[in-house]
Amino acid sequence: NAGVTQTPKFQVLKTGQSMTLQCAQDMNHNSMYWYRQDPGMGLRLIYYSASEGTTDKGEVPNGYNVSRLNKREFSLRLESAAPSQTSVYFCASSEAPGKGYGYTFGSGTRLTVV
């Protein structure tokens, strides 16, 4: 069981470049999430998808876009990277968060914007 798979694991971008972070889960979960984690700031929600076909903004959506491609895949796009987007990005999924199920996290993407 792969769980939640994120690619790439590491990435260095120049300011202004764009990139897409990929996430796929094989647990048939309905809900998927993108978080960023910064020292002293904890995990902050960027976007989430409660179910296939829906996406919603989280706490820090500016500078990001998402696509829920199908039930398995949820991608995060940085259109014009900025140094403030240097962070560790985690994708997560949940079977039924409304019923109290927790998250399963991917291994993370370490992004540096120079």
Which one, of 68, 83, 67, 108, lies nearest residue 17 by Cα? Answer: 83
40 versus 53: smaller Cβ distance to another protein: 40
Cβ 48 to another protein, closest distance in Å?
A: 6
Which one, of 21, 20, 10, 30, lies nearest residue 104 by Cα? Answer: 30
Cβ 96 to another protein, closest distance in Å?
A: 9
Cβ neighbours of residue 72 under 8 Å, at least 6 residues apart? 24, 25, 26
7 versus 104: smaller Cβ distance to another protein: 104
Positions touching another protein (CB under 8 A) are: 31, 33, 35, 40-45, 48, 50, 56, 58, 90, 94, 97-98, 100, 102-108
Task: Let me know the angle formed at the C-alpha of 112 by 107 and 114, rounded to the nearest 5 degrees.
Answer: 170
63 versus 97: smaller Cβ distance to another protein: 97
